[in-house]
Amino acid sequence: SLYEHQSTYSPNLPLRFLLYLSDLYSDMTKNDNLYGTKKVLIPPPQFIIFYNGTDEQPDQRILRLSDLYTVEEKEHKLELEAVMLNINLGHNEALMRACKTLREYAQYTARVRQYAARMPLADAVERTITECIREGILKEFLEKNRAEAKKMSIYEYDQEKHMRQEREAAWEDGVTAGEEKILQSQIRKKLAKGKTLAQIADELEESESVIQSQIDKMNAAAASGDGKQPI
């Protein structure tokens, strides 16, 4: 199984998992005869993403490699499904009850964000660590690794903030051609399934104005003779 922690949602995670898996299988079978008649057995993969970003996400979401394909097909010859689990406080409560460490990590992260909203980040992390140790939240880990935990928490929070700002700036300046092509492909698929503008915007986590703008661009391209039917 492949596990990944993300504080920023990305629709490209299935493709990243595919590349990771290819490297893993290549390493596992490097001494096997892949050209022989005997089966080379490989373990079945599972793909899990633990999400704790600030953008609203459901408890569970399935991300598919086929959502990134540029060509519509009824059946996909290669599919990869990754399960994204929201591990923020208030989500996946059954999972949180079953996994004490995961639950306490969610509590720790939520507290850092709460304090960082009203004080310098370093102070927010220091206060969170002190309180969590006192209250028995990740106590053993934080006592043994206090300096490292503080450093990583500051880094992760800064990185999350930076990526969020970069993402917002990208939409203000205009997305790249590749990202726009993927977005248009996703929109086209959902329109073909009869989804409304509001549903598409919600599922793709974009504003309705962004989705409508992409639909208008696709219609304009179709009208100019790009070979695709207008929407």
DSSP-H helix ranges across 53-99: 93-98
Return the percentage of the chain with pLDDT > 70, whole number.
Answer: 88
Q: What is the rounded average pLDDT of the residues 91-104?
A: 93
In this predicted structure, the answer to whether residue 131 has a pLDDT above a threshold of 90 is yes
Q: In whole angstroms, give the CA distance from residue 20 to residue 26.
A: 10
Mean pLDDT for the chain?
87
Span 203-223, pLDDT tens digits: 888 888 889 999 998 988 887
Q: In whole angstroms, give the CA distance from residue 132 to residue 138.
A: 7
Distances in Å between the Cα of 65 and the Cα atoms of 90, 185, 202, 205 are 28, 13, 19, 17
Q: What is the rounded average pLDDT of the residues 48-74?
A: 90
Side chain identity at 98, as an amino acid letter? A
Q: In whole angstroms, give the CA distance from residue 106 to residue 91.
A: 10
- Please tell me the pTM assigned to this model: 0.62
